[in-house]
Structure 1
Amino acid sequence: MTADHDKLWRHCAHLGRVLLPLVDQEPWRRARRHENLTAWGIDTAAGERMIEIFAALAAHAVALDASLPATEFEVLPLKDVADAATGKRDYELLAGLPDTFADDRDGQAVNIFRLYVYRNGQYSRRLTQLSTELRHALLVLAERAPIRSPTCEDVLRRAAQAHLPQ
């Protein structure tokens, strides 16, 4: 694994971590998401962590498909990441991942995602539900953007302005 690829994953993981706090700037959105997760039988903390890692996986898959180096991650259109969240097969999101992760939480979440992919049944349904929730969150952020086709850079800039952790 190259340093550039590791850096690309870190950018993707950061996008995943700031996504929900940015969406939650309208507090009612968090309450609605929690209602959905509870209705689906998904623990809210675990569900939100899965949405974070799902976002990272979708962004990573789009970046790899576009052969983007880590230095150009920010140009990824948010719409492409949203499309990957619901348009790619779950196992396609696992292609090209690092063998190890600098953040153990990422490695653990990816392993849980892998289990969901390969267990099928209710787990497959949960991934579908989580992907829909992720797509919705990405589209909310895209709609808030003052420009026509927002990118990952726009999301990361808003996260920095909101003083969210790097």
Structure 2
Amino acid sequence: MASDHDTMWRRCAYLGRVLLPLVDQEPWRQTRRHEHLRAWGIDTTVGERLIEVFAALAAHAVAVDASASAAEFDTLALSTVADAATGKQDFELLAGLPDTFADDRDEMAVKVFRLYAYKGDQTSLQLFRLSSEVRHALTVLAQRLPITSPTCGDVLRQAAEAGLPH
């Protein structure tokens, strides 16, 4: 049986995985993001996977800061997650992660993020640029939702309605 902490990470990781497919409902957004990634010298596949894990890390950091349980994940404000993406230091996003990950892709992506965070120089600049992409994507989703203060749960419901795989 999965612990609450593991369940929380899985919810955060799912938020990260659905972020770009939901944003890309307008195809020009993907084109623009790919242009940015290439201009920054970031492979688009690697960059998009890092955006996914960045969003998951930001959501997880917000949940840890709020001492939220996995059951409370849906109530986390999307704006707070967006703020964490650009407002927290890279090492702050890595605090409190599970020791092991059920999904090998998540574990590998977190390791790559950790490598980027601690390497410094150009990779730190790339993480800064990716953080702005995460914030932008979360802001786009928040603006699309017909409610005043959208939450992570609202995004997950939107993903379910769009038929995105869980």
Q: What is the alpha-carbon distance in structure 1 between the residues aligned to residue 71 and residue 143 of structure 2?
A: 25
Which runs of no fewer than 5 residues in structure 1 stay unpaired? none
Q: What is the alpha-carbon distance in structure 2 between the residues aligned to residue 153 and residue 117 of structure 1?
A: 28
Match in the other structure for 2:19: 19
Match in the other structure for 1:30: 30
1:1-166 matches, within 5 Å, as: 3-166=3-166
For residues 26-53 of structure 1, give each alpha carbon's deviation from its aligned partner in whole angstroms, at most 9, with x where no partner exists.
0000000000000000000100000000
Q: What is the alpha-carbon distance in structure 1 between the residues aligned to residue 26 and residue 151 of structure 2?
A: 21
C-alpha displacement at 1:78, in angstroms?
A: 0.3
TM-score normalized by the length of structure 2? 0.98
Identical columns (%): 70
C-alpha displacement at 1:76, in angstroms?
A: 0.4
Which runs of no fewer than 5 residues in structure 2 stay unpaired? none
For residues 125-145 of structure 1, give each alpha carbon's deviation from its aligned partner in whole angstroms, at most 9, with x where no partner exists.
000000000000000000001
C-alpha displacement at 1:159, in angstroms?
A: 0.3
Q: What is the alpha-carbon distance in structure 1 between the residues aligned to residue 7 and residue 78 of structure 2?
A: 19
Which 4+ runs in 1 deviate beyond 6 A? Answer: none
C-alpha displacement at 1:80, in angstroms?
A: 0.2
Letter of the 2:55 counterpart: A
For residues 98-143 of structure 1, give each alpha carbon's deviation from its aligned partner in whole angstroms, at most 9, with x where no partner exists.
0110000000000000000110000000000000000000000000
For residues 65-95 of structure 1, give each alpha carbon's deviation from its aligned partner in whole angstroms, at most 9, with x where no partner exists.
0000001100000000000000000000000
Letter of the 2:14 counterpart: H
Aligned to 1:142, the other structure's residue is in SS state helix
Q: What is the alpha-carbon distance in structure 2 between the residues aligned to residue 109 and residue 163 of structure 1?
A: 24
Letter of the 1:159 counterpart: A
Letter of the 2:38 counterpart: T
Letter of the 1:11 counterpart: R
Q: What is the alpha-carbon distance in structure 2 between the residues aligned to residue 151 and residue 116 of structure 1?
A: 29
Letter of the 1:104 counterpart: D
